[in-house]
């Protein structure tokens, strides 16, 4: 994705938002991380059990401008803007881990501990709030 494409998606999509990452969490086994960017320079990150909505943690941060939003999310994802995709446009959802039943409890325990210790990783460049559904 290029900056111009991101701007167009933010301005003209019905939700004025675009999901640029939907992948298995690299930190919490059995959980899916979704990263949504909004036209008002807000980033919304959801970390939820595989196959569920509103059952994990939501992180919301407001950036001063689009450039800072992109830089913060590039660092968080470890990928440049050019490597992002519109996950809703191409219906991206990660493949179900073969060992989901054996790993999800460990992922849940790790996420619950991180929430309790306030150690869930956030992108840089904005102040994020966290809401837990655990």
Q: For the segment 67-114, what is each residue's pLDDT rounded down to a tens digit?
A: 999 999 999 999 999 999 999 888 889 999 999 999 999 999 999 999
**Which phi and psi angles does 24 have, rounded to 5°?**
-65, 135
Q: How many CB atoms within 10 Å of residue 22?
A: 18
CB-neighbour burial class of residue 66 (10 A; exposed 0-12, middle 13-18, buried 19+)? middle
pTM of the model as a whole: 0.94
Q: For the segment 38-75, what is each residue's pLDDT rounded down to a tens digit?
A: 999 999 999 999 999 889 999 999 999 999 999 999 99
Q: What's the domain range around 107?
A: 3-132
The structural domain count of the chain equals 1
């Amino acid at each position: 994705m290029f900056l111009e494409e991101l701007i167009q998606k933010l301005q003209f999509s019905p939700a004025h938002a675009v999901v640029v990452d939907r992948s298995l969490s690299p930190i919490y086994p059995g959980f899916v991380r979704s990263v949504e960017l909004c036209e008002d320079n807000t980033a919304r990150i959801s970390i939820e059990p595989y196959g569920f909505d509103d059952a994990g943690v939501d992180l919301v941060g407001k950036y001063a401008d689009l450039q800072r939003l992109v830089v913060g999310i590039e660092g968080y994802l470890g990928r440049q803007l050019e490597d992002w995709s519109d996950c809703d446009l191409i219906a991206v959802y990660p493949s179900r881990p073969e060992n989901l039943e054996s790993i999800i409890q460990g992922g849940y325990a790790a996420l619950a501990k991180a929430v309790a210790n306030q150690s869930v990783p956030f992108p840089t460049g904005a102040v994020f709030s966290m809401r837990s559904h655990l």
